[in-house]
Structure 1
Amino acid sequence: MDRTQLRALLRDTDDIRSLATRAVRLLDAVQEEEPSVDPGAGAHCETPAGTVDILPPHSPEWPRDLYTRATVEHDHPGFAQLVRELVSVVVRIDALREPASRAGTGVLGRLFGLGRPDPAAENAATDLLFLLADTRTSWVVTAVRDVLSGAQRAADQQRRDGVRLNPGPGAPGDHCIEAARRAVIRGAGTGYGGVEFGRIEPAALSGARTAVDRVLRHPDSEPALRAEADEALAALGRRHTRELMEQLPPEALKRVTDDRLRFTGLAEAGITSVADVLDTPVDRLMAVNGIGRRTADRLLAAARTLESEAATTNPTLHIGADPVPEAVALTRVLSRYEQVAVLDETERSRRDRLISFFRELPVGPAPDGFDVIVRGSGALDQLLDDLRWAAAGPALLLPDHVTDPGSAAWDDYLSRPARYQALLADLLRLDTVTGEDPALLDAALIERIREVRLNRDFLRDLHLRGYQSYGARFAVVQRRIILGDEMGLGKTIQAIAVAAHLAAELAAGGGGPGHTAVVCPASVVVNWSRELGTFCTLEVFVAHGPDKRVAAAAWRERGGVLVCTYDGARTLDLGGPDVLIIDEAHMIKNPRAKRTIACSALAQASGTVMLLTGTPLENRVSEFVNLIRIVRPDLVTRGMAELEAEPFRRLIAPAYLRRNVIQVLDQLPERVDETEWVELTDNDQRFYRENVAEGSWMGMRRASWLTPAGEPAKLARLAEIIADARTAGRRVLVFSFFLDVLEIIAGAFGESVVGVIDGSVPPQRRQELVDAFGSAPGGSILLAQVLAGGQGLNIQAASVVVLAEPQVKPTLEDQAIARAYRMGQTGTVHVHRLIGTDTVDERMLEILAGKRGVFDSFARTSDAAEVSDAVDISEPELARQIIAEERRRLGLTDGEPARPAPETDTASEIRRS
């Protein structure tokens, strides 16, 4: 064999060895664990029915060798055996190649006899030649080349066209599509049946993308306004943080660092606050005697940490009461948003889904459309419907003209603070809590509630918060419920939304708007008529006063909404209203009371019943059961009042919905509660002791206000609170159970008192007093009897609330405070409870603490706890217990203990409220 032949032979062996290396590499890839792809790594759309994801064909998430391995597995199931045979050939080649390379003679050797052939080398070369010429070897080499060639074609197709999930023009073989689908299914982490595949054609995308782009480019679009509001709120937060830093002395930096900091000399250098530290350059800090570079750096670092901690711990979520530039800018944004917030919840959800979807979808032409990954039956249909809606309808278009009101927005905000705070929460998506509890309600019911679309035909200018919309839809689905939201969360407007929705349903059937009856205490009749007139276009009839029967007759004839008192529910002919709303429903907890009997009869005759009360449980669980019996007697079981809290809540869940302020109104201003321990004067103490000796329960409770000699200590403390409020420009709301206490306060503060609300004040006059209080200067005082002013009135103008004495029912205090601390409040609310030390006040606080535990366990949505029956104390029992304890404490136990004065001592106050 000559050298030319040998070189050709060796080249062939090298080619086979290279082929084997590539084949082994490909086999390793094929035998690796099958790939998985996260379907959510592309454009994602969350629909009510499930999710739709688009993983673009050229997404980096797709494994580069997906088609290659799929093709090898499908077309060459025996590839592993081929590779093994080829490797065995290479092993034999490697054994022969080195000696064979010495075989053969060149031209000069043959001409001049200069070389002598090596027999061993010649034999090795001959064996190598026969090995490569062997039929089996040739077949194996050719077969492997074909596999590698097919794998390369598959890789080129994936690189050129991307990965497809559905067959069609230009798609790869079914085996490649199936491999891609398997990768998605593994990445989805679900069984094969949990994922489906579909396709969106180009025509379905173009019109919708144009509509969404138009919205995103508009300066008054919701996304643009949200960005403006975010920045304005952040700027307002920075201002608040800065103001806090200005109030904190440098020594406050100790709490955020373990470093030893030196503060001596800072005050002399004019550095008197944390804000000053932040503003002072390092070289100026170092100029202070005793502060070097390291200490200066530590001071600045600690100041920045404290500033950051303040900003993140107490984020600004409300507009506030000060017209600083940032707050005014925020109200201007919200005023513009009010003009463009025209979509209902369903349409808004559609738009939000599409905006998010197109932001994630690759920009540029998609001539072939997109394959989609679907989880949830109907999810793709929902997305396609959204796309058609966006392309076909003008609902996404913004109004032609959006007016920026300028600084006038601030005045509008002050006149409608609740509206603006609702707009802020809505725009920034701060409403995240609905109150639904999957642990208590079955999934099918929750889904039915979510699917309800509230009809707004009879509503105007009513913007429901997210939790309010859920409450209204809960009532629409369940029909007979207790809405137990904490005071100040808008139970009234939720009920109005329900009445309007059901009236629209009746009107659509051709029978007119039907009949809605609102039963409420006389003190809130005016408030109900105002709210209905503001937010509802249904005709409103007020059946209160001398013409109440005429109003009731007109309502029966024409339909609409009738507002009447509990007395009216008992004496008027109301028939069977389509919708019955009973406000302050805890007033019908006694099943033997005439008004309870009348309201129960109305409820039985009505199709939809809403009981509104923030205090469904005041003393006993049995009271709560009585209310449940009115709306859903089928839920009441024998011994229900003795159940523990958790099974009780589970039992009533289909008929009871409650949300608490702390859950849903994170953007409310701060509420500061202070227990004011008032040390009685000598005169106060003597007068108090006299009342204890007489066993006068009511006398003991008000003794610290009615001292006949000298100024009572509580009055002196109240004067200090009012003086502070006047300085700060705040208005003061004072509650007491006792009329004579309110008279003492009114006499002491003269013209500063706007008025007194008690049971004798007609509803219209009550509202006039509240309106006057709202425009009164700082330091003005509104006095209210807790039973009269603690229900139904909205008194957000007050930011200081004073409770003259503790109440027998803690819920009375909650109701009173909620008159001021509610939606629409713009400033921090300071609550002062005046407690006389070593008096009945202190004893009541101790004993009644357990009553709140009863309510929290059974009536709130918080986790339940065991409740002892011992805290369920009636007022006479409470009076006897406290009088006995006070007599013992004061050494008045000799002889027969005095009996408490009869309950008729409070008859006049109770009647007048």
Structure 2
Amino acid sequence: MTGMAEFNRETLTALLSEADGVLDRARRASLLLDAAVPLPGIRATVELPGSGGWLIPPGAVAWPEQLYALAELDRLPGTRERFRSQIAAAAVLASLREKAKGAAPGFFGRLFGGAGLEDSRRAAQELQARLADPAFGALDREVGGHLAAVEEAARHQGRGVQLHPGSHGTPGHLTAAAREAFGRAVGHPALIFTQYDAARQASVLARARALAQDPNSEPALRGRAEHLLSSLTAERAGILLRQLPVDALRTATNERLRFTGLESVGVNTVADVLEAPLGRLTQVHGIGGQTARRLKAAAETLRREAVVTHTTGIGDTPTTAAAGLVRVLAHFDQINNLDEAQRARRRRILDYAGRVPAGGGLWDAALTPDAAGWEQFSDDIAWADAHREILEPADPVRVGEETWADYLARPAHYQALLATLLDLEFEGGDDLAADVLERIRSLRLDRTHLTDLQLRGYQSFGARFTLVQEKVVLGDDMGLGKTVQALAVAAHLAAQGQRRTLVVCPASVITNWVRESRRFTDLPVYRAHGAGREEAVAAWADTGGICAITYDGARTTSLPAPDLVVVDEAHMVKNPAAARTRAVRELIDAASHALLLTGTPLENRVDEFATLVSFVAPDLVSAGMSSMSAADFRVRIAPAYLRRNQTDVLDELPEKLEQLDWIDLTPADEAHYADTVRRGSFMAMRRAAMTTPDAVPAKLERIREIVGEAEEAGRRVIIFTYFLDVLDVLEADLGHRVVGRLSGAVPPATRQSLIDALGSAPGGSVLLAQITAAGTGLNIQSASVVILVEPQVKPSIEAQAIARAHRMGQTSSVMVHRLIGDDTVDERMLEMLAGKAQLFDAYARPSESAAVHDAVDVTEGQLAEMIIAAERERLGYVS
């Protein structure tokens, strides 16, 4: 043992302790190098609208334990390389340390130690030398310092992970690490973090949660409406399945199933297949258990399709679900006092209330660079805090017993309420620039002068589009309410002090404009047509309001500059050289706002639309536009042109769109009609507006317009009248458009061939029909426009005639036009047969006649006697 240094216990203990320190640092460094930071656990954060960022309430994130430690490790330059070097060196020290433990034995150890003792002392000497090496000592001290920094970072995390600097003293690089980790967890690396006081938010959302629980509130009504609509859909699916024969199951499966013999066990329809137990189906010879199950599966497939594809139309049958839904909508009508922007805000706040945890205090927010979602959220909360009434509980209301009758009188109003309540509205305007859309959506429509008008969402959008863009073309499909959109614009402008609205329209619809204006607004309404035209214009110029004038009247009358000019049937001014076009163009130029209405699809007349657009937005029109594709043209003129189709905006896809077309008789019509009244001939009075001698009757002019619109839209037309001589007039005037004439003289075998001819005819083709001969027993689904030339004595006759086109198998919505001569027998008949008039009360009390289809019918003699007397008195033929 000569030359071998000896170690006493104290020296060896100190050496081993020093080695243990190095090995411990190596162990800790190794654990850090091996650690991988998992993503934070996102437990209770709330994503803002439009991927705008996240709200982070206290405790919403489960942070990885070593987040700060590893962040500190990565911050120190070269640390991982130093750790690896120290760990490699420490690996040798571990073996030496184990051998060196025996380098300071007791007496007997020294006496009998032998070679083992020498090995221990040699290991201790080498251990001592390595620990004394200046380079290793420097490395170890550096690692120790780094470990101390890392552990200090870990202690900071023990006091809570911070996303912002502050008095907590967490270094900035550690808060930056937390932010970066959160961004990785949500998949958005470029986030902006802020902190805010959630006290106001907590107060607003607490009120919103209370409102959501209120049984009289809009959210509760929405839930009941959804449930009832689902029940109504199931009812209708059941009706449809009861009408489908069993053979319809072949369309639901590619397999060859056996159907013969099912009628022997009382299974005749798809509904019967669903309801029948398997045992009954297998009683039929040739139908085993597998086939019976396949039949059931095919029937269930049809049932699901019927439920999924059904519309949200309420219909005309007061089933339990339909009547209940109407009562919910009547309730909603009484508490519905918000406009579109307010309702959108409240619904967003109610959505926040369902997703944002309760509680105040300091919250964090991680925002995307544009921060639009955060701005919307903050603005919504501030708005709700400033308008506390928006979240106040709804007052209980009483719904009357006559809701179904009111619905039948105003079905469009209730369908609009349903679309609003269920948030089913479609706006359109997809081609508009984002800033224009934002201006339209943020505009609050002033409804001060609107009365009894529940605007659909798309109608409100159309009005606000006009107000923002000022001069536009509205090309909505037929039946979507272009008139009420124009009236909403007029009412808004009047509330802002721009009082004069001028409606330029064909003479055939001037009465309709006057009536609709008086029905839906409280503005003064003037009819500048016929005698007194100049006086009407002068009064309008003085008081403001709505003045309706014909194209010829606009050309020949001196008119003051309007604030709003509405041009109905605007395709009538498509010729720039025409005098009427020049007159209308001058009015458009003089007005601050202009609205051109036309139902002609853009795709059919690109060149004509270029002319119309040039009237309202000349900067959008350039040479060669007529050769553009319709899609490119639409994008180009989007700032001035808006069109929505029925299939886009009518979520309920109404099978029947009915309207009254008020017809203003020509002077010749009036003279002819007066003569029939003088003679006291009820039948002559009823057909007088179509049989004026030596002149074109006003009703015939309107029929020409409807048929022309139908041709533009690719629709076919069926025209019903009671009178054969009226059929003669129509057949002579419409000429080649008429594919056939159905009357009592046409044999039954020939009638179907005429119907088939209509089915293969082009749009605008017409089938003429005597209502008593073609009003029952025929399927005429190929016609989607129905014209009733005159009212019928029995409303059931009209309903049955409409049902020829409005029935299962019809794929298009049915447009029903009832032509009503203004101040004629037609109007008297409407008054006497209306649902709420005296005759309805006398002959059709709901408790007595709910199941009687002809309950509101009266005898022709009674009706004729009353109407003749009323008309003779009105025209001065009796004292």
**Structures share a fold, TM > 0.5?**
yes
Is structure 2 residue 723 aligned with structure 1 residue 711? no
Following superposition, the deviation at residue 95 of structure 1 comes to 3.9
Query: Does structure 1 retain, via aligned residues, the 8 Å contact 2:737–2:764?
Result: no
Is structure 2 residue 600 aligned with structure 1 residue 615? yes
Query: Does structure 2 retain, via aligned residues, the 8 Å contact 1:198–1:374?
Result: no
Query: Does structure 2 retain, via aligned residues, the 8 Å contact 1:41–1:61?
Result: no
Aligned mate of 1:424, from 399, 418, 429: 418
The CA distance in 1 between the partners of 2:202 and 2:227, in whole Å, is 32
Is structure 2 residue 480 aligned with structure 1 residue 489? yes
Following superposition, the deviation at residue 558 of structure 1 comes to 0.9
The CA distance in 2 between the partners of 1:538 and 1:495, in whole Å, is 13
Aligned mate of 1:46, from 43, 49, 58: 49
Report what 1:745 is aligned to. 770
Is structure 2 residue 322 aligned with structure 1 residue 327? yes
Aligned residues: 726
Report what 2:171 is aligned to. 173
Query: Does structure 1 retain, via aligned residues, the 8 Å contact 2:52–2:371?
Result: no
Report what 1:23 is aligned to. 29
Query: Does structure 1 retain, via aligned residues, the 8 Å contact 2:73–2:80?
Result: no
Question: Residues 300 and 544 of structure 1: is their aligned pair in 2 closer, same or farther, counting only changes over 3 Å?
Answer: same
1:37-186 superposed matches below 5 A: 42-46=45-49, 51-60=52-61, 63-74=64-75, 76-97=76-97, 99-100=99-100, 105=105, 117-128=116-127, 130-131=129-130, 144=143, 147-148=146-147, 151=150, 154-155=153-154, 157-158=156-157, 161=160, 163-170=161-168, 172-184=170-182
The CA distance in 1 between the partners of 2:775 and 2:205, in whole Å, is 67
1:890-901 superposed matches below 5 A: none
Report what 2:798 is aligned to. 780
Secondary structure of the structure 1 residue equivalent to 2:526? strand
Secondary structure of the structure 2 residue equivalent to 1:495? helix
List per-residue Cα deviations over 1:80-123 (Å, max 9, x = no partner): 1331232122221244255446666467756x959874322332
Aligned mate of 1:597, from 579, 582, 585: 582
Report what 2:553 is aligned to. 568
The CA distance in 1 between the partners of 2:455 and 2:467, in whole Å, is 15
Gaps of 5+ in 2: 1-6, 658-713, 719-727, 757-762, 778-786, 807-811, 819-879
Question: Residues 432 and 16 of structure 1: is their aligned pair in 2 closer, same or farther, counting only changes over 3 Å?
Answer: farther
List per-residue Cα deviations over 1:443-492 (Å, max 9, x = no partner): 44334333333222322343332322222222112212111111111111
1:700-739 superposed matches below 5 A: 704-705=740-741, 711=746, 716=751
What letter is aligned with 1:657?
A: L
Query: Does structure 2 retain, via aligned residues, the 8 Å contact 1:164–1:371?
Result: no
Secondary structure of the structure 2 residue equivalent to 1:649? helix
Report what 1:356 is aligned to. 351
What letter is aligned with 1:206?
A: A
Query: Does structure 2 retain, via aligned residues, the 8 Å contact 1:66–1:180?
Result: yes
The CA distance in 2 between the partners of 1:523 and 1:718, in whole Å, is 34
The CA distance in 2 between the partners of 1:96 and 1:88, in whole Å, is 13
Aligned mate of 2:312, from 317, 325, 329: 317
What letter is aligned with 2:121?
A: E
Following superposition, the deviation at residue 41 of structure 1 comes to 8.4
Secondary structure of the structure 1 residue equivalent to 2:71? helix
Question: Residues 156 and 289 of structure 1: is their aligned pair in 2 closer, same or farther, counting only changes over 3 Å?
Answer: farther
The CA distance in 2 between the partners of 1:615 and 1:818, in whole Å, is 18
List per-residue Cα deviations over 1:211-245 (Å, max 9, x = no partner): 21222221232222222222222222222233333
Aligned mate of 1:339, from 334, 339, 353: 334
Question: Residues 750 and 119 of structure 1: is their aligned pair in 2 closer, same or farther, counting only changes over 3 Å?
Answer: closer
Question: Residues 600 and 61 of structure 1: is their aligned pair in 2 closer, same or farther, counting only changes over 3 Å?
Answer: farther
The CA distance in 1 between the partners of 2:429 and 2:519, in whole Å, is 27
Query: Does structure 2 retain, via aligned residues, the 8 Å contact 1:704–1:713?
Result: no
Query: Does structure 2 retain, via aligned residues, the 8 Å contact 1:212–1:390?
Result: no
Question: Residues 399 and 124 of structure 1: is their aligned pair in 2 closer, same or farther, counting only changes over 3 Å?
Answer: closer
Following superposition, the deviation at residue 326 of structure 1 comes to 1.4
The CA distance in 1 between the partners of 2:459 and 2:268, in whole Å, is 47
Following superposition, the deviation at residue 263 of structure 1 comes to 4.8
Is structure 2 residue 538 aligned with structure 1 residue 553? yes
Secondary structure of the structure 2 residue equivalent to 1:218? coil
Query: Does structure 2 retain, via aligned residues, the 8 Å contact 1:71–1:176?
Result: yes
Secondary structure of the structure 2 residue equivalent to 1:705? strand
Report what 1:446 is aligned to. 437
Query: Does structure 2 retain, via aligned residues, the 8 Å contact 1:540–1:562?
Result: yes
The CA distance in 2 between the partners of 1:105 and 1:563, in whole Å, is 121
Following superposition, the deviation at residue 419 of structure 1 comes to 1.3
Following superposition, the deviation at residue 9 of structure 1 comes to 7.1
Report what 2:689 is aligned to. none
What letter is aligned with 1:376?
A: D
The CA distance in 1 between the partners of 2:95 and 2:123, in whole Å, is 9
Query: Does structure 1 retain, via aligned residues, the 8 Å contact 2:196–2:363?
Result: yes
Secondary structure of the structure 2 residue equivalent to 1:519? strand
Query: Does structure 2 retain, via aligned residues, the 8 Å contact 1:218–1:224?
Result: yes
Following superposition, the deviation at residue 206 of structure 1 comes to 2.8
The CA distance in 2 between the partners of 1:745 and 1:736, in whole Å, is 19
Aligned mate of 2:466, from 475, 486, 490: 475
The CA distance in 2 between the partners of 1:576 and 1:40, in whole Å, is 63
Secondary structure of the structure 2 residue equivalent to 1:342? coil
Bigger shift: residues 6-15 or 419-428: 6-15
Question: Residues 616 and 196 of structure 1: is their aligned pair in 2 closer, same or farther, counting only changes over 3 Å?
Answer: same
Question: Residues 568 and 280 of structure 1: is their aligned pair in 2 closer, same or farther, counting only changes over 3 Å?
Answer: same
Question: Residues 191 and 5 of structure 1: is their aligned pair in 2 closer, same or farther, counting only changes over 3 Å?
Answer: closer
The CA distance in 2 between the partners of 1:714 and 1:537, in whole Å, is 55
Query: Does structure 2 retain, via aligned residues, the 8 Å contact 1:319–1:327?
Result: yes
Report what 1:606 is aligned to. 591
Following superposition, the deviation at residue 579 of structure 1 comes to 0.5
The CA distance in 1 between the partners of 2:775 and 2:319, in whole Å, is 34
Secondary structure of the structure 2 residue equivalent to 1:26? helix
The CA distance in 2 between the partners of 1:264 and 1:9, in whole Å, is 101
Taking structure 2 as the reference length, the TM-score comes to: 0.71
Report what 2:387 is aligned to. 393
Question: Residues 776 and 264 of structure 1: is their aligned pair in 2 closer, same or farther, counting only changes over 3 Å?
Answer: closer
Bigger shift: residues 296-305 or 562-571: 296-305
Aligned-residue CA RMSD (Å): 4.5
Is structure 2 residue 538 aligned with structure 1 residue 543? no
The CA distance in 2 between the partners of 1:782 and 1:244, in whole Å, is 19
Query: Does structure 2 retain, via aligned residues, the 8 Å contact 1:212–1:396?
Result: no
Gaps of 5+ in 1: 508-512, 678-686, 722-734, 753-766, 784-797, 803-813, 821-913
Report what 1:652 is aligned to. 637
Report what 1:455 is aligned to. 446
Secondary structure of the structure 2 residue equivalent to 1:462? coil
Question: Residues 819 and 64 of structure 1: is their aligned pair in 2 closer, same or farther, counting only changes over 3 Å?
Answer: farther
Question: Residues 150 and 348 of structure 1: is their aligned pair in 2 closer, same or farther, counting only changes over 3 Å?
Answer: farther
Secondary structure of the structure 2 residue equivalent to 1:518? strand
Query: Does structure 2 retain, via aligned residues, the 8 Å contact 1:487–1:815?
Result: no
Secondary structure of the structure 1 residue equivalent to 2:86? helix
The CA distance in 1 between the partners of 2:267 and 2:774, in whole Å, is 42
Secondary structure of the structure 1 residue equivalent to 2:52? strand
Question: Residues 253 and 60 of structure 1: is their aligned pair in 2 closer, same or farther, counting only changes over 3 Å?
Answer: farther
List per-residue Cα deviations over 1:48-68 (Å, max 9, x = no partner): xx8342134534475554333
Report what 1:219 is aligned to. 215
Question: Residues 277 and 131 of structure 1: is their aligned pair in 2 closer, same or farther, counting only changes over 3 Å?
Answer: farther
Following superposition, the deviation at residue 294 of structure 1 comes to 4.7
The CA distance in 1 between the partners of 2:271 and 2:45, in whole Å, is 46
The CA distance in 2 between the partners of 1:473 and 1:651, in whole Å, is 20
